[in-house]
């Protein structure tokens, strides 16, 4: 199935790279960016450049739109109608499914919110579908998105939460891991080891948490009177968890203000 990606910036680029990494045939991927100098890197990976978003729409069956919200209005003029045999998936922040389907006509117009971990096929992708969506086409879209991450079918009202928790979440998680890295440096580890250890601790904890409850893992690491509870006490006293929750809440509130 030929797929198209419009907008090859941070997100569009990460999606194309992730699809290719997942084994998707590069010659089935068509790309278009208004800045054509961005095509070359993807041509080198085997993807086809397109001369316009209109041409890309003609050549492909599923089209991913990855432009900034401020560019959406202009971009949408070139794909204001999507044939029923095709699907358009908008990754554009702040454009509700309702506004999207008012601008882009066709029964298979979806809204999705991923993150840049798409590049390493570890994305989290919230997906909202219109009632008109063809079941077969929706299945195809979900199968495609599942190649680059976990897909959550949600109501449009939950997209703001995903925007902050998982979209911006990559930046929040990066700050946390960076703090671990800096702690490693403070304790005299080399830059290289401190970074590797910080990343691996989050990776290992994430894998454990995909199998066990939070409490079980905490209990297994925390010996009464030991080193872990000493550190956990400082985290609690300094309100770290509350600060993280506040940050994610603030992101979601901002997303909601920017959404129309
Ligand atoms: N970055 C993330 O982590 C992330 C996560 C989730 C969702 N998103 C959403 O993804 C979208 C893209 O974000 P981004 O960070 O990837 O932005 P970005 O890096 O600025 O990439 C957007 C690309 O689209 C190009 N473009 C603009 N108008 C176009 C048009 N009419 N036709 C073709 N290409 C066009 C831009 O070209 P110019 O550079 O010439 O303007 C740029 O190369 C946003 O709506 C954002 O809300 C991003």
Per-residue pLDDT, 141: 98
Q: Ligand 1, from 6, 66, 149: best to mutate by most atoms within 8 Å of Cβ? A: 66
CA-to-CA separations, 186 to 182, 189, 252, in angstroms, rounded: 6, 7, 33
**Chain Cα centroid distance, residue 198:** 22
CA-to-CA separations, 227 to 185, 222, 230, in angstroms, rounded: 19, 8, 5
Per-residue pLDDT, 76: 84
Nearest CA to ligand 1 atom 2: 11
Mean pLDDT value of segment 102-119 = 95
HEC letters along 191-212: HHHHHHHHHHHHHHHHHHHCCC
Return the percent helix, strand and coil in the chain, to nearest 5: 60, 15, 25
Per-residue pLDDT, 215: 97
Res. 148: pLDDT tops 90: yes
Q: Ligand 1, from 5, 8, 9: best to mutate by most atoms within 8 Å of Cβ? A: 9
Per-residue pLDDT, 174: 98
21-49 burial: b if 16+ Cβ within 10 Å, else e: eeebeeeebbbbbeeeebbeebeeeebbb
Q: How confident is the model at residue 77 (pLDDT cuts 50, 70, 90)?
A: confident
Domains parsed from the chain with CATH numbers: 3-154 (3.40.50.720), 162-258 (1.10.3730.10)
Q: How confident is the model at residue 80 (pLDDT cuts 50, 70, 90)?
A: confident
Q: What tens digit of pLDDT does each residue of 181-219 get? A: 999 999 999 999 999 999 999 999 999 999 999 999 999
Distance from residue 192's CA to the centre of ligand 1 (Å): 32
Nearest CA to ligand 1 atom 43: 9
Query: Could you say which DSSP state residue 224 is in?
Result: T
Q: How confident is the model at residue 79 (pLDDT cuts 50, 70, 90)?
A: confident
Length of the chain: 260
Give the residue carrying structure tokens 């290719």.
20
Per-residue pLDDT, 84: 94
Q: Among the atoms of ligand 1, which is closest to the Cα of residue 94?
A: 47
Per-residue pLDDT, 20: 98
CA distance 207 to 197: 15
Per-residue pLDDT, 194: 98
Per-residue pLDDT, 75: 86
Q: What tens digit of pLDDT does each residue of 19-70 get? A: 999 999 999 999 999 999 999 999 999 999 999 999 999 999 999 999 999 9
Per-residue pLDDT, 78: 83
Nearest CA to ligand 1 atom 25: 7
Q: What phi and psi values does residue 134 have, to the nearest 5 degrees? A: -75, 130
Per-residue pLDDT, 74: 87
Tokens (6 digits) for 129: 């579908």
Per-residue pLDDT, 119: 98
Mean pLDDT value of segment 60-82 = 91
């Amino acid at each position: 199935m030929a797929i198209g990606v419009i907008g090859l910036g941070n997100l569009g680029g990460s999606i194309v790279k992730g699809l290719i990494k997942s084994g998707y045939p590069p010659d089935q991927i068509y790309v278009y960016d208004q800045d054509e100098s961005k095509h070359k890197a993807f041509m080198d990976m085997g993807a086809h450049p397109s001369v316009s978003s209109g041409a890309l729409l003609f050549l492909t069956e599923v089209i991913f739109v990855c432009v900034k919200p401020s560019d959406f209005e202009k971009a949408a003029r070139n794909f204001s109608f999507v044939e029923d045999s095709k699907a358009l998936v908008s990754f554009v922040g702040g454009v509700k499914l309702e506004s999207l389907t008012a601008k882009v006509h066709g029964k298979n117009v979806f809204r999705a919110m991923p993150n840049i971990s798409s590049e390493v096929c570890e994305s989290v992708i919230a997906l909202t579908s219109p009632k008109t969506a063809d079941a077969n086409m929706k299945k195809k879209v979900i199968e495609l998105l599942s190649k680059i991450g976990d897909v959550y079918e949600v109501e449009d009202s939950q997209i703001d939460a995903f925007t902050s928790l998982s979209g911006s979440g990559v930046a929040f998680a990066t700050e946390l891991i960076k703090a671990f890295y800096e702690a490693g440096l403070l304790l005299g580890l080399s830059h290289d080891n401190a970074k590797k250890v910080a990343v691996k601790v989050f990776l290992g904890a994430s894998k454990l948490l995909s199998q066990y409850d939070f409490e079980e893992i905490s209990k297994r690491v925390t010996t009464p009177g030991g080193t872990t509870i000493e550190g956990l006490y400082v985290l609690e006293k300094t309100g770290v968890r509350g600060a993280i929750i506040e940050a994610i809440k603030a992101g979601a509130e901002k997303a909601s203000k920017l959404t129309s």
